[in-house]
Amino acid sequence: MTEKTLVLLIALEQEISPKLVPPDVYLKYSGVGKINAAIAAAEIHMELGPEIEIVNIGTCGSAKHPPGTILHCNQFIQMDMDATPAGLAMGETPFSDLPSVLKFGDGHTSAVICGSADRFQTDIPMSVDCVEMEAFAIATVCAKYQIPFRAIKVVSDQGGESGHNVWVEFLENKMSGIFEEIRATL
């Protein structure tokens, strides 16, 4: 069996500096948002082939968990798609074969639900463990091409009107130290 190439897919260099990433790990920055994340995941698949495992690492907001909490997400939902007037559930995409909740992992761990929305959340819903902007898109590409996928998110803020400023401060002062804990799980 061929060993899979470990790929870290991260939105911004401000989240994880390339200096912190082990040299045997492939690193790619996608940029912010689901479109950029989907493009980056597809490019990785085209460039490296099927023998990869993608790990998305980044920050998130949470109403359930305090800042600094590391979440190993295994369920991903789309929070921008609203076709409820057409009789579909929130997050369900019309005319798509993909389920509205994408699940990864062995199924034996408790659900850690990551919602993706391309907006800064000031009012984070309690229906998810965290919200961020890229994981659902990456999970969609990985589901389509049967690529193993994990997402490790670090709670940076709890939303609110000052959420963006708290996020920036978290990136500047805490994220690199927390990444040391994450490196041990790669």
| CATH code for the domain of 105 | 3.40.50.1580
pLDDT tens digits, 160-173: 888 889 998 999 98
User: Residue 186 domain-assigned?
Assistant: no
pLDDT tens digits, 27-43: 999 999 999 999 999 99
**Domain tally, the chain:** 1
pLDDT tens digits, 41-77: 999 999 999 899 999 999 999 999 999 999 999 999 9
Residue 1, pLDDT above cutoff 60: no
User: Residue 170 domain-assigned?
Assistant: yes
In the chain, the percentage of residues whose pLDDT exceeds 90 is: 68
User: Residue 185 domain-assigned?
Assistant: no
Q: What Cα–Cα distance (Å) separates residue 99 from each residue in 19, 43, 68, 71, 78?
A: 37, 23, 30, 22, 10
Q: What's the pTM value of the predicted model, to 2 decimals?
A: 0.92
Angle at which helices 34-48 and 135-145 cross, to 10°: 30
Query: Other CB atoms closer than 10 Å to residue 60's CB: what's the count?
Result: 29
CB 91 within 8 Å of CB 81: yes
Beta strands 5-10 and 113-116 are: unpaired
Residue 65 structural domain: 5-180
User: Residue 20 domain-assigned?
Assistant: yes
User: Residue 56 domain-assigned?
Assistant: yes
pLDDT value at residue 119? 83
Dig out the tokens for 105 from the structure: 């992992």
